[in-house]
Amino acid sequence: MKELESPQTDDWHLPFYETLEWDWVPIGIPIYPEALVMSKPPRVDVLILRQPDTAWTFAQLERLPDGIRQCTASHILLEFKYTQSVNDDALIQSLAYDLFYKNSRQLPTDEVQTFLISAKKPQIQTRNIYEYNKMLYKGVYKTQRQLEKRIQLISLNELADTPYNAAFKLFATHQKEKQKAFELLKQSRDVSSIPKGLKSLLSGLLILGEQDMIKELTPEQVREIGQFWGKDYFSNLSSQEKVELISTLPPEQRLAGLKPEERFIGLKPEERFIGLKPEERFIGLKPEERFIGLKPEERLAGLSRSEIEELEEQIKKLKQPKNG
């Protein structure tokens, strides 16, 4: 399976698509990233095609999430929101994609179904605004409002804890839900087949909480976090792979989290000061500590004759007995 190039923007639908591609293509579900909804942009995030007049196979139903597994439309559009909340813009965008796609292909209404997928759990007051109060399945909502009824809402944090929902729920924002999804995925999939770049991103997602994602990290930033900070949930890195991984990081990231004394382990004394100016080597030391380990003659090295004479005068004064 061809890996996607690492996204350089905040296009979260690309790793979302990449995960579904890994999970679904082997069982015969064609999906496409950024499928054209018209002859020119805009583009919907993910398109799923189902064979007309053909039910999902048993293998496909084992991996399709609630909402989609029950869908009978032959063209299924997924509009994925990771850092965005459900709002007017998200719904208008989904409605536009639904309409443009259907009209451009001259499809009847019942052959197209669009889902708005929210990584964040929509607040009750938000659902009330758009009247998404009818729960078709756990985490899957429908509204009776005339405009929005074409769009079903999937809340990833609320989907049932089942193997067929697992790949979707890896992108939920709640830490507990992601962890449960991962455990289900391990039990029902061969996770060793996940492409290397995707493993890094999913590892990063698993260790980041919802508060971390408020910063609106890009997929590439999360991928880097997964590479270095994240426990490798999917496979164990060899020593050589760990060395290669660390070598790609900036110097400050390689030392982050280490105690000061741990940063010099394995270095010779003279190597510890490489790159420092002479005055920088004594920062933080008390005056008497700066000469520890030096021979008497080494302590005077570099002093001028007048400086040595001044030092001798100071020593004489210190040796004179104090009166009284």
Residue 215 binned pLDDT confidence (cut-offs 50, 70, 90): low
Q: In this model, does residue 73 exceed pLDDT 90?
A: yes
pLDDT attached to residue 139: 97
Least confident of 60-64, 143-147, 192-196, 260-264: 260-264
How many other C-beta atoms are found inside a 10 Å radius of the C-beta of residue 15?
26
pLDDT attached to residue 115: 97
What is the average pLDDT score of the chain?
Answer: 80
pLDDT attached to residue 43: 78
pLDDT attached to residue 4: 45
Q: What is the mean pLDDT of residues 99-106?
A: 92
pLDDT attached to residue 94: 95
Per-domain boundaries in the chain: 13-245, 260-319
**Separation of alpha carbons 313 and 305, rounded Å:** 13
Answer with the residue of higher pLDDT: 117 or 235.
117
Residue 270 binned pLDDT confidence (cut-offs 50, 70, 90): low
Least confident of 1-10, 254-263, 275-284: 1-10
Q: In what order do the strands lie in the sheet with 43-49?
A: 31-36, 43-49, 75-81, 112-118, 151-155, 140-142, 134-137
Percentage of residues of the chain with pLDDT beyond 70: 67
pLDDT attached to residue 282: 64
**Separation of alpha carbons 86 and 119, rounded Å:** 10
pLDDT attached to residue 20: 93
**Separation of alpha carbons 121 and 86, rounded Å:** 9
Is the model's pTM score more than 0.75?
A: no
pLDDT attached to residue 6: 46
pLDDT attached to residue 140: 98
Residue showing tokens 């443009």: 100
pLDDT attached to residue 256: 53
**Separation of alpha carbons 171 and 152, rounded Å:** 18
